[in-house]
Chain A
Amino acid sequence: MTAIDAPALAIDAPALAIDARGIVKSFPGVLANDHVDFDLRRGEVHALLGENGAGKSTLMNILAGLYRPDEGEIRIDGEPVTFGSPRDAIAAGLGMVHQHFTLVPSQTVTENILLGLDRPRFLLHERRSEAEVAALAERFGMRVDPRARIWQLSVGEQQRVEILKMLYRGARILIMDEPTAVLAPQEADELFETLRSMTREGRSVVFISHKLGEVLAIADRVTVMRRGVVTAAGLPTAGATRADLARLMVGRSVLETIDRVPVTPGSIVLAVEGVSARNDRGLPALRDVSLDVRAGEIVGIAAVAGNGQSELAEVITGLRPCTGAIRIAGEEVANESAGTVIARGVAHIPEDRSTVGSAPNLSLTDNLIMKRYREAPVARGWLMDEATARTIAGTLKESYAIAAPSVDTQARLLSGGNLQRLILAREIETKPGLLIAVQPTRGLDVGAIESVHRLLLSLREHGTAILLISEELDEILALSDRIDVVYEGRVVGTFPSAEADVGRIGLLMTGGDEEAAS
């Protein structure tokens, strides 16, 4: 794989709105930006493409004044700048619209836009401000009622208010962090129109996304990031293909070699048929999903974050209502309680370790018996056998090498890796018939990742059916017998792992196949 270099800049290239050179930013244990260069021309839409954790948001937060870079230089319109706060960035004409809006629900659109401004100093000239806001919205083709209260607005309208807020403050550069993640398709089209009308006036837009289709539709150029480094800088979208972008974005590191013993899959343990569900915001998250997992088989779900895979795990484990059929070992469990699903021998490694997978202020013992306190030997009638619980906890702590002073230590004091070992110990020790593993190795170091992988494979040999949901494509490829690719809540492709083609999977994960299909 060769990185695609940016075309050499011509002498008469348009002046740069942003010119960032050699940006380095590290967080404890992570190098989020490793000598990143990024430039934005005046009047262009420049897409920043990358998987979750690639370092896109870090870079943009640095540009918007939220973080200070460890190294590197930033020029805005040719002037070197150092921002101490977002206020400084806005003063320099650079505004960012975050994924999570910062609006006051009970106030009107105009009031939200004026909030925090130095002028008007004391009295609000409401009528005049409303007219100004209306004119600004009109100019960029945004339908918004300046007098509406925020809570009355749809998510798309709220996003327009955020954009107006920045424009009202005179932003010439707008950074949009995954703006379409919350939008319906026609709202996204309207947003694109607005962005185009802004660039026609000479304003510039940075568009953060991990959806290939959108990037090609709206952006003039694209910069691709992976694991903190730029893999393609300022590539013109005109000449780029989806396959190129997918490969640049997903990449492929050297796979660790794990011996996967051939296991003949047994009977179907998990059967999901035509399941649909909504996410926490009430939007469709799963659309007519069907898949199955057999005993002794690992089925990997390859998807970019936010495409419904978290909801899929919750639906199967009884934590989220759905429509459709879910059968575990032949028994219908759709919309049954989480307790019923646990009783059917389903283990679950949840995405959120610290507030779902464990209770932070309870002891190691209490956390380790979470799934078995109802049964003997921990339960004795309506009472619990403290001594037995502590013995079990002690044994698990030993055999899974959970580093903690004692079994009475509170779970919140464990490091991320040890907390994950605690959850694995609890979920795997019962030799479950079905394991739903969501991001089982997120945040672990290389050695720990390998031991988790070995545990999963030994469970597979033992005959457990495993549904592996991970954003690490390498992990999915290394462990799975079959791979289902999920995009926007749909299964868009199924591959036996022997025939898996990374390029094709990457394309499907990012919606790259949508146009080809239609």
Chain B
Amino acid sequence: MTIRLEPRIAAPRWLSAAATIGAVVVALVISGAIIGFVGGDPIRSYLHILNASFGSIGVLSDTLVKATPLILTGLACALAFRMRLWNIGAEGQFLLGAWGATAVVLSGVLPKGTPAVVVLPLMMAAGMLAGAIWGLIPGVLRARLGVNEIITTLMLNYVALFWIQFWVFGPWSESGFQQTKTFPPEAWLPRLSDFATTVPAFGGLTVHLGLIFGLVAAGIVWLILERSRWGYEIRLIGDCPRAARYAGIDIARNLIVVFAVSGALAGLAGMSEVAGSVHRLQDRISPGYGFTAIIIAYLAKFHPGRVVVASILFGALILAGREIQPSGVPAMIQGIILFALIVSDTLVRYRVRIERTPPPAPATAEPAVPG
């Protein structure tokens, strides 16, 4: 008896979605088994995670706060990955975005008491610009010199990290601590709790305007990828660069622009995090959002709408991680989900055929396209 993998002629559409959900379920079952093996109660653990991330309006709000940077960095990855451009640098672009937004507040270019309607848009612009520049470096290197973007984006993450550390340990350090001073209120993105005086139910809810940025960005990226001429070019280059060149598409220019937009999205995530949630720049501003974004983009099959759903799921896992930190369970679940996803991807593209020797004469073949 032999087990063989055969390429599928055509995978039905539902199969891809079913495989993704199936992968998450399988990952939860495997993780449950491991929790049970080490003496835990898987059902109770999952209920605890569920409760800790979706159990009340308060924790749901916290989950969404965690999901916000993931949505934006996830979109940054999904956009680049559609063109088969492996931007592993969302983390660094996120950090530069956070730095750019902070620079607007702390550099003193704005006179004291500048209103929020001026400060916040400037912070957004600076954050996106800084992220875009950080994306442009690998983009230009790849387009002009053919330098592998996986290496450059990965390495630039470390450069970004040290760049942030220089500023928070040095010029912007708050009396020797590795963080800046807290931003003035006009540099804070509005939160639901800010409106608690009019709507008492909003009291204590930390979800901020960054979530809207994420949702609007998801809509725009969807429009670009699925409905625009530029999105068509991105899809064509992603599938077959030689055909794209033949169709008269400037691949180098697209490479650079996609990298810049991808960097700007990650940079906006950094701005939203410092202005909406942390209210200062600090060392370890990101617990690895830019890396989790890679998993999210894969989980979403590079589809903007699904990036939002996957980000909320991972936001919940990160939040639950704080709840039951010592066991490290959520990190394990994340890893197993990724593993199950990769396997499910293979199952979508290939069918498993188990053959008893000798193989039967011409098996009923998959109905191929006639002609």
Contact = CB atoms under 8 A, between A and B. Distances in A.
B369 A366 contact: no
Given A339-B249, A403-B371, A404-B369, A373 B232 contact: yes
Contacts of B368: 413
Given A337-B250, A366-B235, A415 B371 contact: yes
B369 A360 contact: no
A86 B232 CA distance: 46
A313 to B, nearest CB: 11
A384 B225 CA distance: 11
Interface string A374-389: 1000010011101000
Interface string A311-342: 00000011100000000000000000111111
A414 B368 CA distance: 9
Contacts, number: 92
Interface residues of B, number: 26
B303 to A, nearest CB: 15
B248 interface: yes
Contacts of B369: 403-405, 409, 413-415, 418
A361 B8 CA distance: 13
Contact of B236 (A339, A370, A409, A410): A370
B158 interface: no
B235 A348 contact: no
A348 B250 CA distance: 18
A366 B232 contact: yes
B247 A379 contact: no
A418 to B, nearest CB: 4
Contacts of B230: 382
Nearest to B243: A359
B229 A342 contact: no
B229 A410 contact: no
B227 interface: yes
B15 interface: no
Given A319-B245, A339-B248, A370-B247, A384 B229 contact: yes
B239 interface: yes
A356 B246 contact: yes
A383 B246 contact: no
A370 B9 CA distance: 24
Contacts of A356: 242-243, 246
- Main SS of chain A's interface residues? loop
A319 B368 CA distance: 34
A236 interface: no
A431 to B, nearest CB: 18
A49 to B, nearest CB: 33
B371 A384 contact: no
B155 interface: no
A379 B229 contact: yes
A374 B229 contact: yes
A232 to B, nearest CB: 39
A415 B368 CA distance: 10
B228 A355 contact: no
Interface string A341-375: 11100001010100111111110001001110110
A369 B9 CA distance: 24
Contacts of B246: 317, 319, 338, 348, 350, 356-357, 370
Nearest to A342: B248
Contacts of B229: 373-374, 379, 382-384
A404 B239 CA distance: 20
Nearest to A419: B371
A417 interface: yes
A352 B241 CA distance: 13
A258 B228 CA distance: 44
Contacts of B239: 359-362
Interface in B225-271: 227-232, 235-236, 239-240, 242-250
Tell which of B10, B242, B370 has the most Cβ of chain A within 10 Å. B242
Contacts of A382: 228-230
A386 B368 CA distance: 27
A319 B249 CA distance: 11
A359 B228 CA distance: 18
Interface string A399-421: 00011110001100111011000
A362 B9 contact: no
Nearest to A314: B246
B235 A338 contact: no
Tell which of B10, B231, B235, B239 has the most Cβ of chain A within 10 Å. B239
Nearest to A403: B371
A414 B369 CA distance: 7
A112 B338 CA distance: 41
Contact of A338 (B231, B240, B248): B248
Contacts of B242: 352, 355-356
Contacts of A362: 235-236, 239-240
A418 B239 CA distance: 20
Interface in B59-114: none
B238 to A, nearest CB: 9
17 contacts: A337-B250, A338-B245, A339-B248, A342-B248, A348-B246, A355-B243, A356-B243, A359-B243, A362-B240, A369-B232, A370-B236, A373-B229, A403-B369, A404-B369, A404-B371, A405-B369, A413-B9
Interface of A: 317-319, 337-343, 348, 350, 352, 355-362, 366, 369-371, 373-374, 379, 382-384, 386, 402-405, 409-410, 413-415, 417-418
Interface of B: 9-10, 223, 227-232, 235-236, 239-240, 242-250, 368-371
Given A362-B240, A413-B9, 8 more contacts: A337-B250, A342-B247, A355-B240, A355-B243, A369-B232, A370-B246, A370-B247, A404-B371
